[in-house]
């Protein structure tokens, strides 16, 4: 059965710190991995990673996929209180008919 | 482009009742999927519809059902509500080429069952 595990489940840091969030997956027919940020209601899209070893960057956020290790990391540098959110990852499979499953998320809280 | 719209935003129901939630996808998106989110279980997949056909279904009891209309709008229905159905219900839409395009989520419907 397909599996997605995110770690840590919860993290509290101070503003300015750098954090690394992990996502491990075991899915058949893997195609790409997506990261989302959920602040209050709607998860918002951050990154889609398809190729191993190629870092995607958006401001202070960056992410990279390791297909050999079946994992991905999401880095946030110089954290701000606005980064407080739940971060979700989801592996996409290669078939449109396959359901998309999400990890349970990492709840990140940034202290001022 | 307008985003994914879910109605209502909040619902309070009592055990045994039934409820219908609505989702209007982004214009042009033909795939709509539904998720239940609870603090302990995270985002759990309910079902996905594409062109009025259910494409996939998660591991939920038959009390949970859905449908999609020709304009891609979707509804989900929960019958005989239980306390454990209290959750945030999110719907997400994507374009036909879902393999290369992300899901876009609505703000959800917060259902409270008392």
Per DSSP bridges, beta strands A106-111 and A10-14 are: parallel
Does A102 contact B43 at a Cβ distance shorter than 8 Å? yes
Tokens, residue B58? 């998660």
CA-to-CA dists, residue B71 to A45, B31, B51, B89, angstroms: 24, 11, 9, 21
If interface means Cβ-Cβ distance under 8 Å, which residues of chain B face chain A?
A: 3-4, 33, 35, 41-43, 45, 48, 50, 55-58, 88, 90, 98-100, 102-108
Is a pLDDT exceeding 80 seen at residue B40?
A: no
Is a pLDDT exceeding 90 seen at residue A51?
A: no
Is a pLDDT exceeding 90 seen at residue A22?
A: yes
Does B88 contact A103 at a Cβ distance shorter than 8 Å? no
CA gap B109, B94 in Å, rounded:
19
For residues A5-12, give the mean pLDDT: 96
Tokens, residue B95? 């374009």
**Above pLDDT 90, what percent of chain B?**
78
CA gap A105, A103 in Å, rounded:
5
**Which pLDDT band holds residue A28 (cuts at 50, 70, 90)?**
confident
In the prediction, which pLDDT does B99 show? 60
Tell me whether the omega of the peptide bond preceding residue A8 falls within 30 degrees of 0, making it cis.
yes
CA gap A16, A37 in Å, rounded:
19
Each residue of A75-96: pLDDT tens digit?
A: 999 999 999 999 999 998 877 6
Does A105 contact B43 at a Cβ distance shorter than 8 Å? yes
C-alpha distance from B45 to closest chain A C-alpha (Å): 6
């Amino acid at each position: 059965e397909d599996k997605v595990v995110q770690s840590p489940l919860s993290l509290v840091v101070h503003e300015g710190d750098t954090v690394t969030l992990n996502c491990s997956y075991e899915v058949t027919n893997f195609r790409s991995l997506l990261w989302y940020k959920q602040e209050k209601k709607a998860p918002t899209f951050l990154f889609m990673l398809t190729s191993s070893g190629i870092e995607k960057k958006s401001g202070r956020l960056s992410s990279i996929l390791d297909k050999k290790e079946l994992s991905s990391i999401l880095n946030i540098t110089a954290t701000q209180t606005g980064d407080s959110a739940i971060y979700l990852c989801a592996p996409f499979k290669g078939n449109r008919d396959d359901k998309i499953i999400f990890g349970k998320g990492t709840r990140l809280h940034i202290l001022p | 482009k307008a985003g994914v719209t879910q109605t209502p935003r909040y619902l309070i129901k009592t055990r045994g009742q039934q409820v219908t939630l609505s989702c209007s996808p982004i214009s042009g998106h033909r795939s709509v999927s539904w998720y239940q989110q609870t603090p302990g279980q995270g985002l759990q997949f309910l079902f996905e519809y594409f062109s009025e056909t259910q494409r996939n279904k998660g591991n939920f009891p038959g009390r949970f059902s859905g449908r999609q209309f020709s304009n891609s709008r979707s509804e989900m229905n929960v019958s005989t509500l239980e306390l454990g159905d209290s959750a945030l219900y999110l719907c997400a839409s994507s374009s036909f080429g879902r393999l290369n395009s992300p899901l876009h989520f609505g703000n959800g419907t917060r259902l409270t069952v008392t």
